[in-house]
Amino acid sequence: MSRRDSFPKPREHSSHYSVVLSRGQRVRSFRFRPSVLVGVLSIVPMLALGCFALALLFVFHDDLLSSLISRQTQMQYAYEDRLASMRTQIERMKSRELLNEQAYEGRLHDLFQRQAQLEMRASLVTALAQRASIGAEITGQIPRPADRKPQIAAKPASQETAPNPLLSPKFSGLDAGVPQAATSFAPVTTTRPFAEPKPHPDGMELRLLPSNEPAELPSGHSQSAVEPTADRDSADVSLDTTLPARLAIAASALDRVERKQVDTLAELRVPILAAAEKLRVALAETGLSPDRLMPPSNADKARPQGGPLVPVQVGAPSSAFAREFSQVQEAVLATDRLRRILPYVPVRKPLPGDPDVTSGFGVRIDPFLGRPAMHTGIDLREDYGAPVRATAAGRVVSAEWTGGYGKMVEIDHGNGIATRYGHLSGIDVNEGQTVEVGTTLGRIGSTGRATGPHLHYEVRIDDEAVDPARFLRAAAKLASGG
Q: Are residues 167 and 265 in the same domain?
A: yes
Q: How much is the pLDDT for 402?
A: 92
Is residue 62 included in any domain, yes or no? no
Q: Are residues 221 and 290 in the same domain?
A: yes
Residue 427 phi, psi dihedral angles, 5° rounding: -115, 130
Between residues 201 and 301, the one the model is more confident about? 301
Is residue 46 included in any domain, yes or no? no
Is residue 327 included in any domain, yes or no? yes
Residues 6+ apart with CB under 8 A from 86: none
Residue 169 has pLDDT above 80, yes or no: no
Q: How much is the pLDDT for 203?
A: 38
Residue 343 has pLDDT above 70, yes or no: yes
How big is the CA angle at 448 (ends 442 and 453), to the nearest 5 degrees?
60
Q: Are residues 332 and 406 in the same domain?
A: no
Is residue 438 included in any domain, yes or no? yes
Q: How much is the pLDDT for 358?
A: 92
Between residues 391 and 281, the one the model is more confident about? 391
Q: Are residues 220 and 360 in the same domain?
A: no
Q: How much is the pLDDT for 466?
A: 93
Is residue 63 included in any domain, yes or no? no
Q: Are residues 192 and 274 in the same domain?
A: yes
Is residue 35 included in any domain, yes or no? no
Q: Are residues 223 and 329 in the same domain?
A: yes
Q: How much is the pLDDT for 231?
A: 42
Q: Are residues 367 and 273 in the same domain?
A: no
Mean of pLDDT values over 24-51: 82
Is residue 382 included in any domain, yes or no? yes
Q: Are residues 338 and 361 in the same domain?
A: no
Band (177; pLDDT cuts 50, 70, 90)? very low
Q: Are residues 326 and 401 in the same domain?
A: no
Mean of pLDDT values over 335-359: 88
Q: Which of 344, 366, 400 is the last residue of a domain?
A: 344
Q: Are residues 337 and 364 in the same domain?
A: no
Q: How much is the pLDDT for 59?
A: 78
Q: How much is the pLDDT for 221?
A: 40
Residue 284 has pLDDT above 70, yes or no: yes
Band (266; pLDDT cuts 50, 70, 90)? confident
Average pLDDT, the chain: 75
Q: Are residues 130 and 225 in the same domain?
A: yes
Total domains, the chain: 2
Mean of pLDDT values over 33-61: 82
Q: What is the pLDDT of residues 110-123, one digit of tens each?
A: 888 888 888 888 88
Structural domain boundaries, residue 254: 106-143+163-296+314-344
Is residue 9 included in any domain, yes or no? no
Q: Are residues 326 and 376 in the same domain?
A: no
Residue 171 has pLDDT above 90, yes or no: no
List helix spans (H) across 1-33. Answer: 3-6
CATH number reported for the structural domain that contains residue 360 in this entry: 2.70.70.10
Between residues 153 and 331, the one the model is more confident about? 331
Contact 426, 384 (CB under 8 A): no
SS (H, E, C) the chain: CCHHHHCCCCCCCCCCEEEEEEECCEEEEEEECHHHHHHHHHHHHHHHHHHHHHHHHHHHHHHHHHHHHHHHHHHHHHHHHHHHHHHHHHHHHHHHHHHHHHHHHHHHHHHHHHHHHHHHHHHHHHHHHHHHHCCCCCCCCCCCHHHHCCCCCCCCHHHCCCCCHHHCHHHHCCCCCCCCCCCCCCCCCCCCCCCCCCCCCCCCCCCCCCCCCCCCCCCCCCHHHHCCCCCCCHHHHHHHCCHHHHHHHHHHHHHHHHHHHHHHHHHHHHHHHHHHHHHHHHHHHHCCCHHHCCCCCCCCCCCCCCCCCCCCCCCCCCCHHHHHHHHHHHHHHHHHHHHHHHHHCCCCCCCCCCCEEEECCEEEECCCCCCEEEECCEEEECCCCCEEECCCCEEEEEEEECHHHCEEEEEEEECCEEEEEEEEEEECCCCCCEECCCCEEEEEECCCCCCCCEEEEEEEECCEEECHHHHHHHHHHHHHCC
